[in-house]
Structure formats: structure tokens, C-alpha cells
A and B are shown apart, each in its own frame.
Chain A
Amino acid sequence: MTSSDPNAADRALVTRMAAGDEAALARLYDRFGTLAYSLALRVLGEAADAEEAVSDAFVQAWNSASSFDAARGSVSAWIAMIARTRALDRLRARSRRGAATEKAATLDEAGLAAAVSEPGPAPDAAAETADTRARINAALAELPEPQRRALMLAYFDGLSHSEIAQALDQPLGTVKTRIRAGLDKLRTALPAYVWVE
């Protein structure tokens, strides 16, 4: 385990959170707040909702820090998973209430408002995240369009196979294969590695 391994530093934060250290939560937010908020805003398209989802997500991370299992993935994937679940919960609750907002339209406004208030992530987190983002976007750009769309609909809109098939007017089997092929390609482009010391 090298001292510069960011995964180890993140895991140490979660461990401190489990022991009740609020400063560790603040630091975790500095590292992943922008990631969680960007994700929630992309899912919900509305700043106030995104804020609630992010707030719920970090409170949940705090409460479940002791059950975080490093063997099952990185801290950033864990935070992203919680933030996405909370955001999709809100999205579903909203559509149940019948308040299906014009997502594309509000996204621009929300984006503008957020850009004005943007404080930016902590400086050391910024470079690292920018690197990850560049890699994932490069990898996504390499995917054939139908694979990318299927993945985006599943991840950001929380659609199931049958809903994606309907949205893209494609057979169910094709959608299943495309999602798998898309994730396989990303997996190849972004090899995971584990440090042992």
C-alpha cells in the first residue's frame, strides 16, 4: 500500500467516519461532493432536488460507514452508488406525484445557477477527479452510440430493460447485450487494480 494511494486514504476516511469523526465526513464531502451533486443534478435536472438527494446521500454514508466493505469496491463507487440511488428515489417519487417536470429545460437553468455558485472541489481532489473524468469520457466516446445511449438511460434515468427497449424502439435482447457490451468495454478501458503491502 503506497502512501499516495488515494483509495487507501479514502478508506481511512470512511473508517474514521465509522468511529464518529465528523471531520472525516467533511473531508469526504470535499472529495466527492461535486461528483455526487453533478450526478444528482444529471438525474434530477433540478438544483433544489439535487441538493436534497446529495444531503440524503451523505447522511446515509455517515450512518452506514461501519458497513462499508472495501473488498466490494472503492469509496468513490460507494458514494456514487448511494447518491445515484437517492437521486433515482427522488426522481421516482416525483414522477409518482405526477409532477413530471420538463427535465431538459430545467437542466439548463439549474446548470446556470450552479455554475454561478460553484465553489469548486478541494484542490487536490480536483486534479485526480479531472483525470478520472477524462478517462471515463474518453472511454464512453469510444463506445458505439446505441451502447452509450442504453447505458446512459439505465444509469442516469434509472430505466429498466423493457423501458429502455421502448425508449429506443429496440428488441429487449439487443438492449441486454448492448448494456453488457458497453460495460465490458468500459471495464477494459478502466482496469481496476488492488494494492497489497
Chain B
Amino acid sequence: MNDHQDWKDLAASYALDALDAPDRQAFESHLADCVACRDDVQAYREVAGTLAHAAPVHGPPPHLKDRILARVRESRDAGAEPGGWSREAAIGRRGRDGTTRRALMPQWRPLALAASVILAVGALLLFALERSRSAGLVQQLAAIENELGTSRAQIAVLDSTLAERDSLFAALLGPDVTVARLVSQGQPPSAQLYWNRTRNTIVIAAHDLPPAPAGRIYQLWGIAQGSNPVSLGTFDSDLTGRAVALFSLPPGVRFQTGAVTEEPAGGSPQPTTDPFLIGAI
């Protein structure tokens, strides 16, 4: 397998879990040191995920939601309090097992019995003591777990923000980035395009662009001479009139002009309005 196109074929099917075992093993070992293929797999997984929408729509039965919530609550209850119980029970058991097993010779049986009764009583006392102490500990533990959960959630949010920023920086700072300016006939808005040819991505940064009206969205097009515009993606600006969006380009796409139109939400296969931002790349 020397042609990288072959790996690309496998990346698509890998994202669908459709590789037979030999191909899968070969691809996984290739994946370990091919960044391009890892990116491909991720992009293909996202596309494959949308295939779910191709299933005919059936609403789930009404009771299903409650059933799921009940299952979650059940597993949660099973995980929290019974955990405390089993810790205490383990302490009691350890006391009994460890001592009685060694004393099971016949002549020692009555004595062993008495000893085990004493031990059992001791264990019970220990158990009660431990229980009242551990009730407090369980409470503390729950508070700590709660805090940990919140911190973990905060880290997850930071992680995803960082990852988004990383991919933006990578797209902006590559060795082979073409910058182009899109302008409108009057003054504002304006936009810059950053086309990263190595990663095949394009970033649009727009300024003084009011958010699209309800039910509408902005769409970026690549236009090559003599052919129809190709959609590069849709975006919207925030209330400050700023928009920054990163798009993966369709493989092999070529164009000399970038343009932005306003389209119905979801975008259009071809522009339905005149571009209000346009520029040569």
C-alpha cells in the first residue's frame, strides 16, 4: 500500500467500522504515525455521524425517557451508598475469617466457637463504631466527589475551548497560508480569508457584520472561472458584529474568488442572493 489514496479509502471505512480485520490492523498501525489520516478519520467520523439522520423518523415511546432516567438513578444509588456499606461489611468479615480458619482442628472446636462468638461481638462493636464514623466520612467524600465533578467539568470546557483555538491557530499559522481581503461596495462590513493549503482549511474573519436575520445565515463560496460556486460553509456573526469560522475545504477544490451571500438557515446548494462581500484570492 504505497499510494496514500489507498489509506484515505481505508480511513473512510475505518470511520464506519467497516474494515475487515487484516485491513483494520494494517490501518491502525499506519494511523499511529500519520497525522493526515488521523485528521481524515475524525472528519469522516463526523460525516458518518450525520448518516443517522437518514433513518426514517420514529418518535420513541413516551415511557422510554423515564425508564432511562430510572436506570441512571438506580445505578447511581447502587454506586453511592451501598459502596459505604460494603466497605464496613468488609471490615467485619475480615475479623471473622482470618482468625477462625486457623482454629478448625476438632479438639479446639468448642474453644474456637467461643472465640469466634467473642470475635463476632467485637466485630459488631467495631462495625457500629466504624459505621458512625464512616457516615461522616461518606458525607465528606460526597462533597469532595461533587467538587471534583465540577472541576472536571470546568476542565472539559477549557479543554474544548483550547482545542478549538489550537485548530484555529494551526489554520492561521501554517507555512503556506494565503491571505485575501473580501470587501463590499460601500464601507463595512469587511472580511479576511486565510487559506491554509497544507491543511486544506480556510478561516474567515469578518468585522462590522450584523448577525444574519432570523432564519437566515451567511454562506462562504469559492468561485473558479467557468464553473459554479462551491459552498465552503455557513457562519453567523455575534452581536458585536464579529465572526470567526474555520472550514475544512472539499478535497481538490480550486477557486480564485471568495464571496459571501446571505442564505436561508442551513445554507443553499447554490447562491440565491447577490454576494455582499467579494474578493480575489
Contacts and interface: CB of A to CB of B under 8 A. Distances in A.
Interface of A: 1-4, 11-12, 14-16, 18-20, 22, 25-26, 29-30, 33-39, 41-42, 47, 51, 54-55, 58-59, 62-63, 66, 68-74, 76-78, 80-81, 83-84, 110-111, 114-115, 117-121, 129, 131-138, 140, 151-152, 154-156, 158-162, 164, 176-177, 179-180, 183-184, 186-197
A187 B44 contact: yes
| Most interface-central of A81, A156, A193 (chain B CB within 10 A) | A193
Contact of B233 (A14, A59, A191): A191
A111 B149 contact: no
Contacts, number: 267
Q: Name the 3 nearest CB pairs between A and B, nearest first.
A: A77-B49, A71-B163, A70-B160
Interface residues of B, number: 81
A13 B236 CA distance: 22
B272 interface: no
A15 B53 contact: no
A148 to B, nearest CB: 9
Interface in B32-64: 42-62, 64
Interface of B: 8-13, 15-20, 23, 42-62, 64-65, 67-69, 71-73, 75-76, 146, 149-150, 152-153, 156-157, 159-160, 163-168, 211, 230-238, 244-248, 250-251, 253, 265-267, 269
Contact of A37 (B18, B64, B149): B64
A177 B6 CA distance: 9
Contact of B52 (A35, A180, A187): A35
Contact of A38 (B17, B50, B56, B236): B56
B60 A66 contact: no
Contacts of B45: 72-73, 77, 81
B246 A194 contact: yes
16 contacts: A4-B236, A11-B157, A15-B156, A15-B157, A19-B153, A22-B69, A38-B57, A54-B68, A58-B72, A133-B57, A158-B17, A180-B12, A187-B248, A191-B250, A194-B164, A196-B168
